[in-house]
Amino acid sequence: MTAWWKNAVVYQVYPKSFQDSNGDGIGDIKGITSRLDYLAKLGIDAIWLSPVYKSPGIDNGYDISDYEEIDPQYGTMEDMDELIQEAKKRNIRIVMDLVVNHTSDKHKWFIESRKSKDNPYRDYYIWRDPVEGHEPNELTSAFSGSAWKFDKKTGQYYLHFFADQQPDLNWKNPELRQKIYDMMNFWINKGIGGFRMDVIELIGKDPDKMIRENGPMLHPYLKEMNEHTFNGKDLMTVGETWNATPAIAEEYSDPARKELSMVFQFENQSLDQQAGKEKWYLRKLDLGELKKVLVKWQTQIDFNHAWNSLFWENHDIPRVISRWGNDKEYRVQSAKMFAIVLHMMHGTPYIYNGEEIGMTNCPVKNINEVEDIESINMYHERLQKGYSKNELLRSINTKGRDNARTPMQWSNKENSGFTEGTPWLHVNPNYQNINVQAALGDPDSIFYTYQKLIKLRHENPIVVDGDFKLIKNTGDNILAYYRILGNEKWLVVANLSENKEQLSLEDELQKVLISNYPPKSNLKNMTLEPYEAFSAIVK
Ligand code: TEU
Ligand code: CA
């Protein structure tokens, strides 16, 4: 039997920005429940819910202080149970975000751990003596500065790969691992659909050897987790792995190895930054390289013995049309092109909230408007090193995480219908035109392209299981491929650029299934308009 998540399309909800139900300016669980009919109309099968657990909110919930409680700003456990049940009624499963590389420094384990060297929880975290009065080594945090923080109380440093309020858990401790598995079972017993696993590639770390990701114990721990929690259950698990190669992705997702369903890989993320540097050092995207990476992940994974995910956006990366498309005169065309290219590929597609209506990046003029800890820390660190405010803001406006975190645009009412209070983060001023209400009222909107793509996947096994075959020699700007299953052959053609392009194919056109311009009637000597994309049955 095919696992449900192979036919599925998953929708990511960033709860803080989705829908406020009580006027405090912060999205909440009741707000999500109130929008389930909208998501059912789109046709999705599961929601990946970014964290709603109890948290001080230093990193918007990715700093958890209690895994078995809901943060009061998001509601109560009753609200959560209601969301799970109401979603189930609409055949939508709730996939929880599992953040177990680190906790908040306000988690009771860490509060205990830092009290004394012989505290029973000491070994739940990673503590080291100073070396010659300094940090134990050169490991750095993803949010700027050293990954080690000195704690006066006991005279040792603790490890934090993210903010210093996010101490890393010590997975070498079997008691800690068992506590995590118990917690996962608590959620599984509530009837959730699975887990998205935050930075899971870090849990096998060996900080003394400077090993961060893909450490020697990573896969053994995942097998152990599988065995103690989701093994034999109908759940989807997806690991966040910034450093996976296709071979590594197969290790995680080969069913015979009993680890995860699939991973998120991020190889295309580095294509618009300078080689070997951090994401803030900008470089223009080369479409040929983007195409190469997309094709690599379609052809170097053996989908008979592994699986993979497909996505353009999430809460950590900018809006794709602003980044690699055109969010002005070709906003609608480029959004539909990205949708068609991705949703016709092999793997499980993910849609990030707002992507389905073509929401765009939201530039700021001043650092005071920024909420994201990653951008704020980077800005202050580099200002001290002599970078100019303008260049730092340019990096933030291009790559900063707040771009994708502005409130969901539901209507042209004040604050985009997101809240009746003051939104926690500015609403993108373009909500007047770009919003769900407008999208639903326009049969030609981006929304209906997504709806149709989801339907095509649900109704046609070729989209789920067909082989991917690249059409070669189409140039850097055109990505064209077939999906093939038995005697069936589907063609997908996309102009990734805003130039007009020429393409001529020998296939006989039988039926255009979806397109973002008036459908072609012939595949010979085609002129592709800016960002034109379509899929068709061919012979
Ligand atoms: O992201 C992991 C991660 O590597 C990112 O911090 C990444 O370096 C950065 O976003 C690139 O811009 C996960 C979560 O998705 C993210 O929201 C959390 O902040 C992070 O883990 C810590 O939990
Ligand atoms: Ca609220």
Q: What is the pTM of this model?
A: 0.98
Per-residue HEC secondary structure of 377-440 comes to HHHHHHHHCCCCHHHHHHHHHHHCHHHHCCCCCCCCCHHHHCCCCCCCCCCCHHHHCCCHHHHH
Atom of ligand 1 nearest to the CA of 59: 19
Per-residue pLDDT of 220-267, as tens digits, reads 999 999 999 999 999 999 999 999 999 999 999 999 999 999 999 999
Distance 377 CA to ligand 1 centre (A): 14
Q: Which residue among 50, 62, 105, 311 is best mutated to probe the pocket of ligand 1, counting the most ligand atoms within 8 A of its Cβ?
A: 62
pLDDT of residue 2: 82
Residues sharing a CB contact under 8 Å with residue 10, sequence separation 6 or more, in sequence order: 44, 45, 46, 47, 48, 95, 236, 348, 349, 350, 351
What percent of the chain is modeled with pLDDT above 90?
Answer: 99
CA 174 vs. chain centroid, Å, equals 29
Paired tokens of 388: 């100019």
pLDDT of residue 309: 98
DSSP state of 356: G
Q: Where are the alpha helices (DSSP H) in 210-275?
A: 218-228, 246-253
Pairing of strands 10-13, 46-49: parallel
- The closest residue, in CA terms, to atom 18 on ligand 1 is 62
Taking the CA of 420 as reference, the closest ligand is 2
- The closest residue, in CA terms, to atom 8 on ligand 1 is 142
pLDDT of residue 155: 98
Q: What is the mean pLDDT of residues 127-134?
A: 97
CA distance 339 to 168: 36
| Model confidence at 1: pLDDT above 80 | no
The b/e string for 493-502 (b: 16+ C-beta within 10 A; e otherwise) is bbbbbbeebe
Cα(first)–Cα(last) distance of the chain, in Å?
30
The sign of the dihedral angle between the CA atoms of 461, 467, 473, 479 is positive
DSSP state of 167: P
259 to each of 188, 189, 378, 464, how far by Cα in Å? 16, 20, 35, 21
**Mean pLDDT of all residues in the chain?**
98
- The closest residue, in CA terms, to atom 5 on ligand 1 is 316
pLDDT classification of 380: cutoffs 50, 70, 90: very high
Atom of ligand 1 nearest to the CA of 269: 11
Using a 6 Å CB cutoff, which residues line ligand 1? 59, 62, 99, 142, 162, 198-199, 240, 242, 279, 315-316, 374, 401
Catalytic-role residue among 63, 135, 198, 259: 198
> Of the candidates 488, 458, 466, 460, which has an alpha carbon nearest to the alpha carbon of residue 7?
458
Distance 408 CA to ligand 2 centre (A): 13
Please say if 198 is a catalytic residue: yes
Distance 48 CA to ligand 1 centre (A): 15
Residues sharing a CB contact under 8 Å with residue 241, sequence separation 6 or more, in sequence order: 200, 201, 213, 248, 249, 252, 263, 264, 265, 266
Residue 177 near residue 221, CB atoms below 8 Å:
yes
The sign of the dihedral angle between the CA atoms of 496, 287, 12, 306 is positive
| Model confidence at 8: pLDDT above 80 | yes
Please say if 240 is a catalytic residue: yes
- The closest residue, in CA terms, to atom 2 on ligand 1 is 199
Per-residue pLDDT of 311-362, as tens digits, reads 999 999 999 999 999 999 999 999 999 999 999 999 999 999 999 999 999 9
From the CB of residue 22, how many other CB atoms can be counted at a distance below 10 Å?
14
280 to each of 216, 324, 375, how far by Cα in Å? 30, 16, 9
Q: What is the mean pLDDT of residues 123-130?
A: 98
| Model confidence at 429: pLDDT above 80 | yes
Per-residue pLDDT of 25-59, as tens digits, reads 999 999 999 999 999 999 999 999 999 999 999 99
Paired tokens of 400: 């900063």
Query: Helix, strand, or coil here: 157?
Result: strand
